[in-house]
Amino acid sequence: MEVRLKYITPDALALIGSYASICYNSKNEPALNVKRALHCKDRGHLSTLRHAIATFHIKGISRVCSHQLVRSKFLDVLQRSQRYCKEKDVVFVMPNTSEDLTTEIKEHYDSCYALYSKLLSSGMLAEDARFVLPEATTTELVVTGNFQAWLDFINLRMDKHAQWEIRIVAREINNILATHAPGLFNWAPEITT
């Protein structure tokens, strides 16, 4: 899996704080603005956070994981199409299990891929051949969200009740955001699954 930051609003905390200054008739000064942005988050004045955005390029997650990700309605997603792109040299995500079962799962993935290739060779469209591919098939997305949407996503998906794969994605995103907007996002230690 790879999670890369493509874009983030420059000086996001200062910007959020400067916009929020109009709510309070406060001084628009850089040091005060950062403080004000964090204060807004702590007080639940969360619409302020919608004025900064971040875009991530996420590669190599399963379609199980991407399906969970797209449920967050305020994240805007572009996903590699299985209708228009044929799956070549496809990689499958493997759940953690015993060596014997890992071998069996791998055989299953291989046979699914063999059937997919056979269907394509028979002239079937990729959009129909994909029905036989497992949910473990990896995918690629570009995801943009405002800071409130990312906070919601991180709170839901870094939590221990979420599944291990999306927890890793959420942690990666959180830790990148924590370096750009510390205090709004806080660095999180390794995920234990």
Footprint of ligand FAD (CB under 6 A): 71-74, 152, 156, 161-162
Cβ contact 112:134 at 8 Å: yes
Kindly state the smallest distance separating residue 55's Cβ from ligand FAD, in Å.
16
Kindly state the smallest distance separating residue 159's Cβ from ligand FAD, in Å.
7
Cβ nearer to ligand FAD, comparing 151 with 176: 151
Cβ contact 20:34 at 8 Å: no
| Integer Cα distance of 90 and 68 in angstroms | 21
Structure tokens at 183: 């205090």
Residue 112 identity: C
The catalytic residue positions are 157
Kindly state the greatest CA–CA separation across the chain: 69
| Integer Cα distance of 79 and 141 in angstroms | 4
Cβ nearer to ligand FAD, comparing 71 with 86: 71
Cβ nearer to ligand FAD, comparing 34 with 166: 166
Kindly state the smallest distance separating residue 177's Cβ from ligand FAD, in Å.
16
Q: Residue with the closest Cβ to ligand FAD?
A: 73
